Amino acid sequence: MVYLLAIGSAALYGAADFTGGFASRRASTIPVVLLSQASGLLLLGLILPFLPHARPSRPDLLWGIGAGFTGGAGVALLYRALAIGAMTVVAPTTAVCAVAIPAGVAIVLGERPAPLATLGIGLGILSIVLVSRQTEMAEIGDGAAAARRRLGPGIGTALAAGVAIGLFFLCLAKTGPAAGMWPLLVSRLVSVALWVSIATAGRRSLRMPSRVIGLTAVCGALDMAANALYLLATKLGPLSIVVTLSSLYPASTVLLARIVLGERLNLWQVTGVASALAAIGLIVGGGR
């Protein structure tokens, strides 16, 4: 059951990332993030009274606050990266970072990954290099432009998003089983408040095309459902396995990007995407 929950969360995360990135190509990132986060909050608020009674402790709520800041930042960075870069490159890059963060924390705390998992982490780092590589050769004398093309659009933002998402995964996983979905509610309240403050302070317009509003609302609902499945899975199984299975979300993002947007990759990037997915598989296998 725990594996099905984690894989289900991965499928929903991937669909949410695609719709969020797609919407961000047609509207500013801030209104997309704010509306998606608010729609997810509304969905959870509607179903929370029908869920079993929960008793969140003070640490559970504090971890929820931490998840709100890291998750809100991670989603915004991810949608921005998906808007300016190739989804088939951005999604795996983010996923590898999201897996590596929990693994790194576990090592610091004394956990020693199995050899297979260690190999997966190394392969993941290599995959980031591969997916960042472009086929275009820079003209001689244009060093700055060459560096930008080698890095690839959206890759730096995707790396930052992966770090934030990895911390978000950790924060939710640290909550207790008795907390139910309350940490997730607190997390989303913090995230919405954060982006309302940012939009207000920056006097940002929240207008977006009407056709994007529905897509963004669906994105928020998908993301909230994925978070709920992930949170439930962390209470039923080992974090190292749950977080890596949940991080398989690039599979659905890449599939949707190829079907809907017709994105194509060069040979280096195809190898990098395959390496990223293989790295996640190795980490999962090493955590068994």
Amino acid at residue number 63: W
Report CA-CA distances (Å) from 3 to 173, 237, 279: 15, 8, 18
The token duo for 86 is 């190739």
pTM above 0.75, yes or no: yes
The token duo for 211 is 């056709």
Intervals of the chain under pLDDT 50 = 136-149
Position 132 scores a pLDDT of 60
**Rounded-to-integer distance, Cα 91 and Cα 129, Å:** 14
**Rounded-to-integer distance, Cα 81 and Cα 95, Å:** 13
Position 253 scores a pLDDT of 80
Opening angle at CA 147, ends 145 and 150, nearest 5: 110
The token duo for 85 is 């870069």
Tell me the backbone φ, ψ of residue 142, rounded to 5 degrees. -110, 65
Report CA-CA distances (Å) from 235 to 1, 46, 273: 12, 23, 30
Position 138 scores a pLDDT of 40
- Per DSSP, 152 falls in state -
**Rounded-to-integer distance, Cα 253 and Cα 246, Å:** 13
Position 151 scores a pLDDT of 54
